């Protein structure tokens, strides 16, 4: 037995194999590194687990299996098993289940030997059922993602991402080991892994320098393995060889690999991110690298410069940046007082208004910066008093009327519970997106220049049951903006989001899971300034683990996005002290608040309260009846607004151009009218002068000794030259008829005794008008003949300027 073990180890666990495995491990560690950078949602621990597991399993099947079809099966089963346990966080559940199984067995044994009570299989049953549930949820999530992907409707699901990439990585590790150990074919073994990492790098457009160290190691591995194979060959065929070859080859391989790796460290990939981080570290300023990249032209200029133009000053405009870490206002100074009236039909079993917690929003943010929030570009639109911002909205929106009286200057911001619909003053709304088809809207914020104002607003609502069944059919613009997170968000944040929500069946449940998780963090206002180059969410979740509303809200939005839910950050005020005598809420400065809103299809942006210590949102379990959408604003505007006279400059210019054109045309018609009425003797010289002018433009010059007839012939032959094989040549050449008629008439007028021989001034005018079009067309042909590109449009085939003798017919 021992000798068998010895021979086994000697055969399989030898220096060469260990060296190969080590190289493969190094290569895959590098691959894992670049994969982690390019793919969002696979973190180090997952990849390492897959790598080690894959290497082990690969070595086992390479060494022990006899037939080839067993290997893929084992790979599949073990890979899925590992991934399921890891991603679904089933480890603890399974270990608990195992413990229970063991204790049950012990109980069973003791029951058999009649020393103990009846064994209780209930806990095992519960454990198994829960395990089954969780597995079922995981499976359904994967299937849903896969079907959506295949249907061309890709969805962001971190679980699916972890599964897919984890499995690919696992598979390539197993494949590599299998091919290298068993078949001694390193190149083919490395190939899938290289393919995966190259395509992911290329897809996100990162520098391929990252591949160089991998190539270095791969080259070393390939060289060494091939040499081993050769050596074995030589030995079996008794070919003498010098042992020094191995030395030389090994040295070369090592030098090559190290050299390539050193090369990459000297010449790293200069991403803008690195430069900016470097600068950040030096100057301790928080520069938005994305904006810098954009200003260097790296990122597409799809966003307007409105974002940059509006400064972060809080006077007059809308602040579009919200940096976390600034001290929150602690004073209890009253800032405003709000009277509320519910305009939608109320159900009898809803709470009275005094129990409602109103979230008075002012601004919403959609872009996470790592250090805070910003808004994407928006369009400002002015509204008259009484003018509604929305034409229609979902039935689940509640209409609330507020009368707001300000005690302090709050920067001109408009506060409302929900989407501002209508006020009694003129106000301005900054729209990020108006999607009337989906009845969804995204407003950055609104401003109003008044200290007392009415505002009607729409508050999205939903019951638990409805929100659960809302589905995940997000419109494209929601997907593009509200699930996106910058790369600076650390992997462990993403992993946390994924793990918390892996086994939650619906998006609503996932959101609630995150909310519940965050509410457990203690609330405090005493927090030092967070480090500048640190991601705020990471800092809050893993370092500080306490904070105030800004942090909770930020973490909620970031985690929700990482879990695939569209979310945004909202700031404003919360609640207020209800004053019975005035039936109004008094808002103080310390009620400034930030919260998260998550998007549910057909329900809009639903408020979530992650801040620990704040009252939890009470959502009804049963579906709430829909509110009617009949609505008419009924407050009179205090001051009628005057509209400027000329709204649109471009329209004005166009109209004046049009009028000028019409005027010119009328003058033209008038001249024709006059021409027709002239006597023939006066008509013809004018006409002929004009014809001569056209001819001159066409390029016919006449000598003084040319008679009119000779001139006409020149014109005709010139036209024929250019019109030959043009598209409307027949129409064009009919001009000769009119020309001859006019010339004949002119001759009669000039030289004959009896000029009125049957020529009619109307006919002549008509002939001239008919002729004129053809002359213009001839002018077009002559002028465009120079430009070869127009030949296609105007000529049937390449125009040949044939110089022919003008026909001297009369």
Stretch that binds other proteins, among 158-166, 236-244, 492-500, 682-690 (CB under 8 A): 682-690
CA distance 308 to 316: 15
- Helix pair angle (680-698, 735-751), 10° resolution: 130
Structural tokens at position 776 = 């213009």
Q: What is the 3-state secondary structure (H, E, C) of 611-664?
A: CCCCCCCCCCCCCCCCCCCCCCCCCCCCCCCCCCCCCCHHHHHHHHHHHHHHHH
Q: What is the 3-state secondary structure (H, E, C) of 512-547?
A: HHHHHHHHCCCECCCCCCCCCCCCHHHHHHHHHCCE
Stretch that binds other proteins, among 443-451, 625-633, 750-758, 789-797 (CB under 8 A): 750-758
In angstroms, give the least distance from the CB of 662 to other proteins.
31
In angstroms, give the least distance from the CB of 685 to other proteins.
7
Q: Is 487 helix (H, G, I), strand (E, B) or coil?
A: coil
Q: Which listed residue (171, 599, 688, 722) binds other proteins by CB under 8 A?
A: 688
Residue labelled with tokens 């407003």? 443
Residues 6+ apart with CB under 8 A from 731: 774, 777
Q: Which listed residue (39, 708, 716, 782) binds other proteins by CB under 8 A?
A: 708
Q: Which listed residue (710, 727, 772, 791) binds other proteins by CB under 8 A?
A: 710
Which is nearer to other proteins, 111 or 694 (by Cβ)? Answer: 694
Check binding of 635 to other proteins (CB under 8 A).
no
Q: What angle do CA 468, 469, 470 make, to 5 degrees?
A: 95
In angstroms, give the least distance from the CB of 689 to other proteins.
5
Which whole-number Å values give the CA distances from 429 to 256, 412, 435, 477, 644, in the listed order? Answer: 62, 12, 15, 20, 19
In angstroms, give the least distance from the CB of 740 to other proteins.
14
Q: Is 471 helix (H, G, I), strand (E, B) or coil?
A: coil
Which is nearer to other proteins, 377 or 706 (by Cβ)? Answer: 706
In angstroms, give the least distance from the CB of 807 to other proteins.
14
Check binding of 709 to other proteins (CB under 8 A).
yes
Check binding of 140 to other proteins (CB under 8 A).
no
Q: Which listed residue (641, 685, 801, 807) binds other proteins by CB under 8 A?
A: 685
Which is nearer to other proteins, 702 or 784 (by Cβ)? Answer: 702
The residue count for binding other proteins (CB under 8 A) is 22
Stretch that binds other proteins, among 453-461, 505-513, 706-714, 722-730 (CB under 8 A): 706-714
In angstroms, give the least distance from the CB of 696 to other proteins.
9
Q: Which listed residue (300, 528, 705, 758) binds other proteins by CB under 8 A?
A: 705
Check binding of 702 to other proteins (CB under 8 A).
yes
Q: What is the 3-state secondary structure (H, E, C) of 327-370?
A: CCCCCCCEEEEEEEEECCCCCCCCCCHHHCCCEEEEEEECEECC
CA distance 85 to 135: 9
Which is nearer to other proteins, 155 or 713 (by Cβ)? Answer: 713
Q: Which listed residue (523, 692, 697, 733) binds other proteins by CB under 8 A?
A: 692
CA neighbours closer than 13 Å in the CB half-sphere of residue 426? 10
In angstroms, give the least distance from the CB of 794 to other proteins.
29
Check binding of 751 to other proteins (CB under 8 A).
yes
Which is nearer to other proteins, 44 or 717 (by Cβ)? Answer: 717
Which is nearer to other proteins, 426 or 714 (by Cβ)? Answer: 714
Which is nearer to other proteins, 115 or 805 (by Cβ)? Answer: 805
Residue labelled with tokens 């938005």? 288
Which is nearer to other proteins, 405 or 710 (by Cβ)? Answer: 710
In angstroms, give the least distance from the CB of 701 to other proteins.
9
CA distance 445 to 307: 14
Handedness of CA 474, 478, 482, 486 (dihedral sign): positive
Q: Which listed residue (752, 756, 792, 807) binds other proteins by CB under 8 A?
A: 752
Q: Is 44 helix (H, G, I), strand (E, B) or coil?
A: helix
Stretch that binds other proteins, among 60-68, 187-195, 723-731, 749-757 (CB under 8 A): 749-757
| Strand intervals (E) in 407-503 | 419-423, 427-435, 440-448, 452-460
In angstroms, give the least distance from the CB of 714 to other proteins.
11
CA distance 549 to 202: 40
Structural tokens at position 764 = 């002549």
Residues 6+ apart with CB under 8 A from 50: 79, 82, 83, 166, 169, 170, 173
Stretch that binds other proteins, among 175-183, 214-222, 659-667, 746-754 (CB under 8 A): 746-754
Residues 6+ apart with CB under 8 A from 42: 35, 36, 161, 162, 165, 166, 169, 491
Q: Which listed residue (66, 520, 703, 786) binds other proteins by CB under 8 A?
A: 703
Which is nearer to other proteins, 522 or 758 (by Cβ)? Answer: 758
Check binding of 699 to other proteins (CB under 8 A).
no
Pairing of strands 367-368, 372-374: antiparallel
Contact yes or no for 401/340 (Cβ under 8 A): yes
Q: Is 448 helix (H, G, I), strand (E, B) or coil?
A: strand
Q: Which listed residue (405, 509, 706, 763) binds other proteins by CB under 8 A?
A: 706
Which is nearer to other proteins, 304 or 810 (by Cβ)? Answer: 810
CA neighbours closer than 13 Å in the CB half-sphere of residue 647? 3
Check binding of 750 to other proteins (CB under 8 A).
yes
Q: Which listed residue (163, 171, 746, 777) binds other proteins by CB under 8 A?
A: 746
Which is nearer to other proteins, 628 or 752 (by Cβ)? Answer: 752
Check binding of 295 to other proteins (CB under 8 A).
no
Q: Is 512 exposed, middle or buried (0-12, 13-18, 19+ CB in 10 A)?
A: buried
Check binding of 809 to other proteins (CB under 8 A).
no
Stretch that binds other proteins, among 228-236, 460-468, 654-662, 701-709 (CB under 8 A): 701-709
Site residues for other proteins, 532-551, by CB under 8 A, read: none
In angstroms, give the least distance from the CB of 705 to other proteins.
4
Residue labelled with tokens 């679980």? 159
Which is nearer to other proteins, 606 or 759 (by Cβ)? Answer: 759
Stretch that binds other proteins, among 146-154, 476-484, 708-716, 718-726 (CB under 8 A): 708-716
Check binding of 758 to other proteins (CB under 8 A).
no
Check binding of 707 to other proteins (CB under 8 A).
yes
Residues 6+ apart with CB under 8 A from 808: 713
Report the b/e string of 731-747 with b at 16+ CB within 10 A.
Answer: ebbebbebbbbbbebbb
Q: Which listed residue (170, 175, 605, 711) binds other proteins by CB under 8 A?
A: 711
In angstroms, give the least distance from the CB of 751 to other proteins.
5
Cα Rg, the chain, nearest whole Å: 41
Which is nearer to other proteins, 433 or 691 (by Cβ)? Answer: 691
Residues in the site for other proteins, rule: CB under 8 A? Answer: 685, 688-689, 692, 702-711, 746-748, 750-753, 810
């Amino acid at each position: 037995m021992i000798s068998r073990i010895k021979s086994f180890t000697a055969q399989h666990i030898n220096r060469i194999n260990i060296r190969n495995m080590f190289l493969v491990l190094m290569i895959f560690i590098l691959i894992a590194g670049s994969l982690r950078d390019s793919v969002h949602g696979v973190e180090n621990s997952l990849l390492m687990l897959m790598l080690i597991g894959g290497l082990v399993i690969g070595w086992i099947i390479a060494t022990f299996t006899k037939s080839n079809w067993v290997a893929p099966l084992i790979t599949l089963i073990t890979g899925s098993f590992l991934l399921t346990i890891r991603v679904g966080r089933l480890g603890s559940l399974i270990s608990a289940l195992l413990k229970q199984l063991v204790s049950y067995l012990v109980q069973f044994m003791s029951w058999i030997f009649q020393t103990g009570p009846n064994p209780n299989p209930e806990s095992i049953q519960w454990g198994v059922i829960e395990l089954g549930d969780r597995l079922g949820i995981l499976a359904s999530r994967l299937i849903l993602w896969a079907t959506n992907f295949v249907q061309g409707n890709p969805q962001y699901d971190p679980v699916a991402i972890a599964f897919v990439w984890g499995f690919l990585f696992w598979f390539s590790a197993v494949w590599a080991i299998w091919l290298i150990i068993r078949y001694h074919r390193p190149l083919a073994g490395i190939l899938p892994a290289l393919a995966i990492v190259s395509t992911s790098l290329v897809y996100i457009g990162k520098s391929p320098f990252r591949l160089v160290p991998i190539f270095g190691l791969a080259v070393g591995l390939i060289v060494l393995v091939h040499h081993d194979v050769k050596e074995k060959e030589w030995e079996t065929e008794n070919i003498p060889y010098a042992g020094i070859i191995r030395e030389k080859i090994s040295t070369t391989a090592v030098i090559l690999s190290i050299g390539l790796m050193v090369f990459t460290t000297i010449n790293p990939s200069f991403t803008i991110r690195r430069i900016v981080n470097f600068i950040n570290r030096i100057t301790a300023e928080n520069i938005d690298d994305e904006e810098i990249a954009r200003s260097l032209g790296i990122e597409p200029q799809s966003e307007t410069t409105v974002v940059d133009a509006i400064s972060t000053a809080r006077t007059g405009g809308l602040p579009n940046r919200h940096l976390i870490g600034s001290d929150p206002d602690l004073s209890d100074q009253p800032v405003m007082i709000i009277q509320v009236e519910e305009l939608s039909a109320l159900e009898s079993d809803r709470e009275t208004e005094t129990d409602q917690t109103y979230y008075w929003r002012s601004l919403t943010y959609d872009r996470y910066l790592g250090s805070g929030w910003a808004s994407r570009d928006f369009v400002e639109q002015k509204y008259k008093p009484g003018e509604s911002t929305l034409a229609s909205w979902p039935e689940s929106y509640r209409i609330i009327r507020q009368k707001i009286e300000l005690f302090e200057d709050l920067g001109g911001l408009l506060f409302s519970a929900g989407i501002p619909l209508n006020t009694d003053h003129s106000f301005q709304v900054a729209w990020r997106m108006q999607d009337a088809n989906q009845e969804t809207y995204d407003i950055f914020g609104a401003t109003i220049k008044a200290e007392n104002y009415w505002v009607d607003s729409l508050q999205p609502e939903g019951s638990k049951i409805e929100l659960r069944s809302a589905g995940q059919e997000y419109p494209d613009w929601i997907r593009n903006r509200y699930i996106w997170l910058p790369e600076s968000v650390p992997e462990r944040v993403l992993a946390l989001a994924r793990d918390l929500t892996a086994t939650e069946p619906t998006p609503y449940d996932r959101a609630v899971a995150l909310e519940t998780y965050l509410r457990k963090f203690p609330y405090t206002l005493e927090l030092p300034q967070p480090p500048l180059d640190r991601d705020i969410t990471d800092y809050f979740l893993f370092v500080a683990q306490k904070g105030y509303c800004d942090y909770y809200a930020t973490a909620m939005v970031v985690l929700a996005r990482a879990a695939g839910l569209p979310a945004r950050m909202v700031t404003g005020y919360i609640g207020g002290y209800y004053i019975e005598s005035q039936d109004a809420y008094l808002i103080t400065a310390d009620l400034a608040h930030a919260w998260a809103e998550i998007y549910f299809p057909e329900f809009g942006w639903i408020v979530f309260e992650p801040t620990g210590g704040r009252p939890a949102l009470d959502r009804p379990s049963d579906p709430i009846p829909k509110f009617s959408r009949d609505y008419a604003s009924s407050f009179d505007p205090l001051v009628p607004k005057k509209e400027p006279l000329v709204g649109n400059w471009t329209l004005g210019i166009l109209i004046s151009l049009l009028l000028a054109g019409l005027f010119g045309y009328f003058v033209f018609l008038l001249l024709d009218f006059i021409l027709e009425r002239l006597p023939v003797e006066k008509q013809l010289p004018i006409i002929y002068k004009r014809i001569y002018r056209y001819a001159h433009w066409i390029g016919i010059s006449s000598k003084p000794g040319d008679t009119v007839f000779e001139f006409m012939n020149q014109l005709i032959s010139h036209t024929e030259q250019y019109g030959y094989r043009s598209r409307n040549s027949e129409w064009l050449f009919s001009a000769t008829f009119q020309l001859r008629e006019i010339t004949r008439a002119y001759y009669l007028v000039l030289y004959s005794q009896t000029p009125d021989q049957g020529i009619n001034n109307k006919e002549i005018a008509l002939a001239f008008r008919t002729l004129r079009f053809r002359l213009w067309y001839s002018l077009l042909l002559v002028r465009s003949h120079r430009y070869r590109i127009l030949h296609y449009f105007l000529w049937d085939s390449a125009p040949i300027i044939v110089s022919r003798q003008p026909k001297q017919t009369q």
